A and B are shown apart, each in its own frame.
Chain A
C-alpha cells in the first residue's frame, strides 16, 4: 500500500524560482494537509483541505498556494521561492478530523 506519496523528495531552487510539490493519497481520505518542519519549530500547518473542493489557510500560508485537484491529490505551489522557505515539507491525510494522520515521506527543499 502506497499511502501518501510526495514528489519530489529533494529539490534545490534559486530565489525567485517557482515549483510545485505534489501529493497523492490512495486511502480515500477526505482531508489533506501541507506542513512545514523547521528545526526547533515542530510542524506548522501551511494549508489544509477538509474535503474535496475546499482549501483553507493554516498557520503559515504566506508565499504558498494550494490546489485540491481531486480527492486523491493536493498540491503545494511556491510562486517565488525565498530562502525562508527552505524546509522539510510534509503532506498528510486523514479520514475525518479525529483519526490518524498519515504522512508522506517528506520533501526537502533548499532555496539558495
Chain B
C-alpha cells in the first residue's frame, strides 16, 4: 500500500464552482501535512499547511481527519488560474523523508 494516495482526477469544473478532493495516508503516526501546487512542467510550491483544527486561506480550505487518516482540500469559487496538479505531502515525526502523493489534477474551464 502506498504511504500517500490521491485520486488522480482530473476534476473538470466550471469557473465559480466548488471542487474538493482527499488524500489518504497509511501511517497513523504521521504528524505534518501539506498541500503543494504544481503547474505543468514547473516545480511544486507550497499552497498551505494543514493543521489539526483545519485552516482556511482565502478560497482554499484544508481539513485533517485523523480518525479516517485523510486530509482534504476544498477550493471555492474556482478560477481559471486554479488549474494545476495538487500534491499531498505527509511527514512522520522526526523523519526527514516527506512522502508525496501522485497528485490530483484540477482543470477549471471558462
Contact = CB atoms under 8 A, between A and B. Distances in A.
Interface of A: 31, 33, 35, 40-45, 48, 50, 56, 58-59, 88, 90, 97-98, 100-101, 103-106
Contacts of B32: 97-98
Contacts of B95: 97
A97 B42 contact: no
Contact of A58 (B34, B46, B87, B97): B97
A7 to B, nearest CB: 14
B94 interface: yes
Given A56-B96, A97-B32, A98-B91, 7 more contacts: A42-B103, A48-B97, A97-B91, A97-B95, A100-B34, A105-B42, A106-B41
Interface of B: 8, 31-32, 34, 36, 41-46, 87, 89, 91, 94-98, 100-103
Nearest to A32: B96
A98 B34 CA distance: 10
Contacts of A101: 36, 44, 46, 89, 98
Contact of B100 (A42, A48, A104): A42
A48 B46 CA distance: 19
Contacts of A100: 34, 46
Nearest to B36: A101
Given A98-B32, A101-B46, A103-B44, A43 B97 contact: no
A44 B87 CA distance: 12
